Amino acid sequence: NAGVTQTPKFQVLKTGQSMTLQCAQDMNHEYMSWYRQDPGMGLRLIHYSVGAGITDQGEVPNGYNVSRSTTEDFPLRLLSAAPSQTSVYFCASRPTGTGLGELFFGEGSRLTVL
Amino acid sequence: GENVEQHPSTLSVQEGDSAVIKCTYSDSASNYFPWYKQELGKGPQLIIDIRSNVGEKKDQRIAVTLNKTAKHFSLHITETQPEDSAVYFCAASIHSGTYKYIFGTGTRLKVLA
C-alpha cells in the first residue's frame, strides 16, 4: 500500500515553462487536494476535488489548473511558471469527499522557478 | 477570509520538559481541529485531532485542549524526546460545500538533549 505518491520530487523550471506535478493515491479516497508550503506561511490550499470529475478552487488557485478524471489521480498543472510559484507542493487525500477526517499527505515536490 | 494564527513560530525545550503550541481560529463554525507533525523532508502526518463537542483529548504524551468560546486550541507535549523535534501545524475546518482545512503557519520545535 503506497499511500499518496507524488512525482517528481524535485524540478527546476525557467519562467514561462509549463509542467505537471503528478499525484496518485491507492486508498480509494474520494477527496484529493493540493497545498503549497512557503516559509512563514504554512500550508495553503490551491485546488481540491471531492470525487472524479469534480474540482474546485482553494485559497491560492491562480496560475494552477487541475483535473480529476479518475479516483486515483489528481495532477496539478502550471501553464506558465513564475518565480512566485517556487515552493514545496503537497498532495493530500482523505477517505470522504465532503466529510471530515484525516488528510494523508505525499512526501512533497520541490519546485524552483528561475 | 478565515484564518488560523499559530504561536510560537519556534520553540526550544530541554529533553523531558513540556512544550505548548497555541492556535487561534476565526470561523466560529469550525468544528474540527487536527494537529500535524512534519519531519524534515517528509509530508505532514496527523498526530491528534479534536472535535468541537470535546474540550480535551489525550493520547499518551500528547494532548489537545479546545476553548470554543475564546476560539483557542492548544497542543501539549509532555516528557519531550529528541524525536519530537519537527514542525507542527494546527488546522481548523471550514465548510462550504465540503470541509476544507485552514492551516496555521507552523511551529518548529527543537528538543535539546
pLDDT (tens place) for every residue of chain B, 113 residues total: 789 999 999 999 999 999 999 999 999 999 999 999 999 999 999 999 999 888 999 999 999 999 999 999 999 999 999 999 999 999 999 987 788 999 999 999 999 98
- Residue B28 cell numbers, joined: 466560529
Alpha-carbon Rg for chain B, nearest whole angstrom, is 14
User: What is the least distance, in Å, from the CA of B34 to any CA of chain A?
Assistant: 8
**Chain A environment of B106 (Cβ under 8 Å):** 42
pLDDT of residue A1: 66
B32 → closest Cβ in A31, A58, A100: A100
CB count, 10 Å around CB of B71? Answer: 17
Q: Is B59 exposed, middle or buried (0-12, 13-18, 19+ CB in 10 A)?
A: exposed
Number of Cβ within 10 Å of residue B95's Cβ equals: 14
In the three-class reduction of DSSP (H, G, I as helix; E, B as strand; rest coil), residue B85 is classed as coil
Residue A67 neighbours by CB distance under 10 Å: 16
pLDDT, tens digit, for every residue of A52-66? 999 999 999 999 999
CA distances from B98 to A104, A106, B4, B37, B106 (A): 17, 21, 18, 24, 24
Measured at the alpha carbon of residue B21, what is the angle toward residues B7 and B45, in degrees to the nearest 5?
A: 110
Residue A24 in this model has a pLDDT that exceeds 70:
yes
Distance CA B21, CA B109 (A): 9
Q: What percent of chain A has pLDDT over 70?
A: 99
Grid cell, residue B9, equals: 513560530
Asked if B103 and A43 come within 8 Å (Cβ–Cβ), the reply is yes
Look at residue A90 and tell me whether its pLDDT is greater than 80.
Answer: yes
| Residue A110 Cα, gap to closest chain B Cα (Å) | 10
- Using CA atoms, how far apart are residues B73 and B92, in angstroms rounded to an integer? 10
A89 inside 8 A of chain B by CB: no
